């Protein structure tokens, strides 16, 4: 395959590559197709950009999502319509999770636009806009590059919108243009900068004064972190605020990992009836609470059963602050607000002292003999012991949500799950992408058997690229989370020989080790091996548990979500 010549002037494709590298992308998750081949040549010619070839586009999209969670931005490249519609679900997930993912599609020849030709890979009608129309619903900006003259502007516009909005964008590049030069893709580095978001000063001052008055008058105030904190780049400012006011601090489930769990005032996850013990009581009995970047959906609100009163709440959203359900201030950047508020709050220890006075028992997992059938809580007790600043946990939709939520994260340990979108199979691609971005961490993924069956293939990509993730495949024989919401015969799945599947992917190329774990003894041995002799291999541990072995939180949550659905 001829590569572009180094002496060549930059092309449309190499301009995109340069921009990706400038914003922090060094791995591109891709599946080739005839509409994107020349584009891929141009992209991977850049020495700073490596191609990670995926088994399918859905996983390439999930990988870009996982990558963006660690690096702040991710990218994938697919081919027209067959690739585009396959990656769509992952891009919708990235939208729901506020992740800037640059989705690049190799599109039709620019000379075919405006004709009534019928192209392959379409549904057989002379309309090339079908893919674009689908992406309009799940991206914050779309650029269809049909001319070289405006390509520079459209590409830069789309990429900067993705970063500003923290949402995915769609860039379609006509296949005949990808390798062409244009003076705007100049060789000289043209600085690429984003204009920062700014608060309206008067609005900010008024909001901070009103919020400080509200909180300083409270006896038992608390702070709660929501999942938009990260997309709003306000995680550090939230911690600063917590240090300044000394209130107890909780996180909503999707914000786990955004606040140091070793912090003396951390009280756990606020998730209504399935919160960390005593956390719900502390939050809901407070006389004032500040939520920073929350999303209250049916899942995070446990079927809309939270007891939050709007008169008591300060709601801080990305550009708006609402106090007590009556005062609402716009044009305020969350980060600016939290930073300014930290300077105005008086320290208030009462609320935290109340919490400390309560007896908060540490749960102790009962072990039942090391050769008895493995129990889920025994499994997670051992996963807990594996965690350090050098690990990151990826939790798939299912009972893993609840079991992983209860893990105590050491400082620096990553934690990711896809709670807003909850598309099963996400974690396989996300693990691939996260591990590619965070080479300093060993990724520990907890994946149910049902979810794994959706996207399993890309474990082979992890092996191909030398990743050393540890995957706990939890084989409980079915869709247990669905069982707890509403049961039926459809929740039972075909049992696979999961280690056999991964051994087949391995095929003696690369480093991979698999084991079946049936009891605590097997588990202890397998973890020791994964962390010792096999520390440089991808380790896949199929943990076989009883089909009804679930967390108590799933039982509670399932019945509440189920009644909200009926
Ligand atoms: N299809 C997609 C793409 N996403 C979904 N969330 C669902 C269907 C519905 N769904 C949610 S969880 C789930 C299903 C089918 C089952 C997950 O089962 P498993 O991965 O085995 O985890 P477990 O509940 O057993 O812990």
Please report the pLDDT score of residue 68 as a whole number.
98
Euclidean distance between CA atoms 453 and 398, whole angstroms: 13
Please report the pLDDT score of residue 1 as a whole number.
46
Task: Indicate whether 370 pLDDT > 90.
Answer: no
Burial class (CB within 10 angstroms; exposed 0-12, middle 13-18, buried 19+) of 22 = middle
Average pLDDT over residues 325-340: 97
Euclidean distance between CA atoms 373 and 278, whole angstroms: 32
What does the pLDDT look like over 270-293, one tens digit per residue? 999 999 988 999 999 999 999 999
Average pLDDT over residues 103-114: 94
What is the CA(122)–ligand 1 centre distance, in A?
A: 30
Report residue 194's pLDDT band, with 50, 70 and 90 as the boundaries: confident
Residues above pLDDT 70, as percent of the chain: 97
Q: Say if ligand 1 is within 6 A of residue 448 CB.
A: yes
Q: How far is CA 439 from CA 6, 85, 147, 433, 501, in A?
A: 29, 30, 38, 10, 26
Residue ID of nearest Cα to ligand 1 atom 18: 479
Report residue 3's pLDDT band, with 50, 70 and 90 as the boundaries: low
Average pLDDT over residues 59-64: 98
Residue ID of nearest Cα to ligand 1 atom 17: 479
- HEC string of 506-545 equals HCCCCCEEEEEECEHHHHHHHHHHHHCCCCCCEEEEEEEC
Please report the pLDDT score of residue 114 as a whole number.
85
What does the pLDDT look like over 251-276, one tens digit per residue? 999 999 999 999 999 999 999 999 99
Q: What number of CA atoms fall less than 13 Å from residue 204's CA on the CB side?
A: 17
Burial class (CB within 10 angstroms; exposed 0-12, middle 13-18, buried 19+) of 203 = middle
Report residue 355's pLDDT band, with 50, 70 and 90 as the boundaries: confident
Euclidean distance between CA atoms 498 and 379, whole angstroms: 18
3-state helix, strand, coil in the chain (%, to 5): 40, 20, 40
Residue ID of nearest Cα to ligand 1 atom 6: 423
Task: Indicate whether 363 pLDDT > 80.
Answer: no
Contacts of 390 (CB under 8 A, 6+ apart): 412, 440, 441, 442
Burial class (CB within 10 angstroms; exposed 0-12, middle 13-18, buried 19+) of 279 = buried
Please report the pLDDT score of residue 261 as a whole number.
97
What is the CA(46)–ligand 1 centre distance, in A?
A: 39
What is the CA(42)–ligand 1 centre distance, in A?
A: 39
Residue 206 — φ and ψ, nearest 5°?
-65, -40
What is the CA(166)–ligand 1 centre distance, in A?
A: 27
User: Do the Cβ atoms of 223 and 241 come closer than 8 Å?
Assistant: yes
Euclidean distance between CA atoms 157 and 171, whole angstroms: 10
Please report the pLDDT score of residue 274 as a whole number.
95
Q: Say if ligand 1 is within 6 A of residue 422 CB.
A: yes
Average pLDDT over residues 348-365: 73
What is the CA(269)–ligand 1 centre distance, in A?
A: 23
Task: Indicate whether 98 pLDDT > 80.
Answer: yes
What does the pLDDT look like over 382-435, one tens digit per residue? 999 999 999 999 999 999 999 999 999 999 999 999 999 999 999 999 999 999
Q: Say if ligand 1 is within 6 A of residue 558 CB.
A: no
Q: Say if ligand 1 is within 6 A of residue 172 CB.
A: no
Contacts of 31 (CB under 8 A, 6+ apart): 53, 54, 55, 56, 57, 60, 77, 78, 79, 83
Please report the pLDDT score of residue 318 as a whole number.
95
Ligand 1 nearest atom to the CA of residue 550, by list position = 26
Task: Provide the ipTM.
Answer: 0.99
Q: Whole-number mean pLDDT of the chain?
A: 94
What is the CA(61)–ligand 1 centre distance, in A?
A: 19
Q: Say if ligand 1 is within 6 A of residue 89 CB.
A: no
Which of 65, 87, 397, 552 gets mutated to test ligand 1 (max ligand atoms within 8 A of its CB)? 397
What does the pLDDT look like over 484-533, one tens digit per residue? 888 899 999 999 999 999 999 999 999 999 999 999 999 999 999 999 99
Q: Say if ligand 1 is within 6 A of residue 128 CB.
A: no
What does the pLDDT look like over 129-183, one tens digit per residue? 999 999 999 999 999 999 999 999 999 999 999 999 999 999 999 999 999 999 9
**What pTM was estimated for this model as a whole?**
0.96
Please report the pLDDT score of residue 6 as a whole number.
52
What is the CA(399)–ligand 1 centre distance, in A?
A: 9
């Amino acid at each position: 395959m001829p590569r572009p010549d180094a002496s060549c002037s930059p092309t449309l494709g190499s301009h995109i590559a340069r921009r990706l590298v400038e914003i922090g992308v060094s791995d591109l998750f891709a599946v080739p197709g005839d509409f994107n081949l020349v584009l891929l040549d141009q992209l991977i010619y850049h020495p700073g950009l490596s191609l990670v070839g995926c088994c399918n586009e859905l996983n390439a999209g999930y990988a870009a999502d996982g990558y963006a969670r660690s690096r702040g931005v991710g990218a994938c490249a697919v081919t027209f319509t067959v690739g585009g519609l396959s990656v769509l679900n992952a891009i919708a997930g990235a939208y729901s999770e506020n992740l800037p993912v640059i989705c690049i599609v190799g599109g039709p020849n620019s000379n075919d636009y405006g004709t009534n030709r019928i192209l392959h890979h379409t549904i057989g009608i002379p309309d090339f806009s079908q893919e674009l129309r689908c992406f309009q619903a799940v991206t914050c900006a779309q650029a269809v590059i049909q001319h070289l003259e405006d390509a520079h502007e459209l590409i830069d516009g789309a990429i900067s919108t993705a970063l500003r909005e923290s949402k995915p964008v769609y860039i379609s590049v006509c296949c005949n243009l990808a390798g062409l030069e244009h003076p705007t893709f100049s060789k000289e580095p043209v600085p690429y900068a984003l204009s920062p978001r700014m608060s309206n000063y008067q609005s900010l001052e008024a909001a901070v004064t009103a919020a400080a008055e509200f909180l300083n008058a409270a006896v038992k105030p608390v702070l709660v972190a929501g999942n938009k904190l990260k997309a709003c780049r306000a995680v550090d400012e939230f911690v600063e605020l917590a240090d300044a006011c000394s209130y107890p601090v909780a996180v909503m489930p999707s914000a786990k990992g955004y606040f140091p769990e070793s912090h003396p005032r951390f009280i756990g996850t606020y998730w209504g009836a399935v919160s960390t013990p005593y956390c719900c009581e502390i939050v809901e009995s407070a006389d004032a609470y500040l939520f920073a970047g929350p999303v209250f959906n049916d899942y995070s609100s446990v079927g809309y059963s939270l007891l939050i009163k709007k008169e008591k709440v300060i709601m801080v959203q990305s550009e708006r602050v609402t106090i007590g359900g009556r005062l609402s201030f716009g044009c305020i950047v969350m980060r600016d607000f939290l930073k300014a508020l930290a300077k105005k709050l008086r320290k208030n220890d009462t609320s935290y002292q109340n919490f400390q006075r309560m007896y908060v028992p540490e749960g102790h997992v009962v072990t039942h003999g090391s050769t008895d059938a493995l129990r889920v809580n025994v499994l997670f007790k051992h996963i807990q012991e594996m965690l350090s600043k050098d690990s990151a946990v990826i939790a798939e939709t299912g009972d893993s949500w609840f079991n992983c939520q209860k893990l105590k994260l050491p400082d620096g340990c990553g934690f990711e799950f896809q709670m807003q979108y909850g598309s099963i199979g996400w974690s396989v691609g996300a693990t691939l992408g996260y591990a590619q971005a965070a080479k300093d961490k060993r990724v520990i993924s907890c994946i149910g058997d049902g979810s794994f069956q959706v996207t399993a293939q890309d474990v082979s990509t992890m092996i191909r690229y030398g990743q050393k993730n540890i995957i706990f495949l939890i084989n409980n024989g079915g869709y247990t989370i669905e069982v707890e919401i509403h049961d039926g015969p459809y929740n039972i799945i075909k049992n696979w020989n999961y280690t056999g599947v991964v051994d087949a992917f391995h095929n003696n190329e690369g480093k991979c080790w698999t084991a079946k774990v049936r009891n605590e003894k097997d588990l202890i041995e397998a973890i020791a091996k994964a962390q010792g002799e096999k520390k440089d291999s991808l380790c896949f541990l199929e943990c076989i548990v009883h089909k009804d072995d679930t967390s108590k939180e799933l039982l509670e949550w399932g019945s509440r979500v189920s009644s909200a659905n009926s």
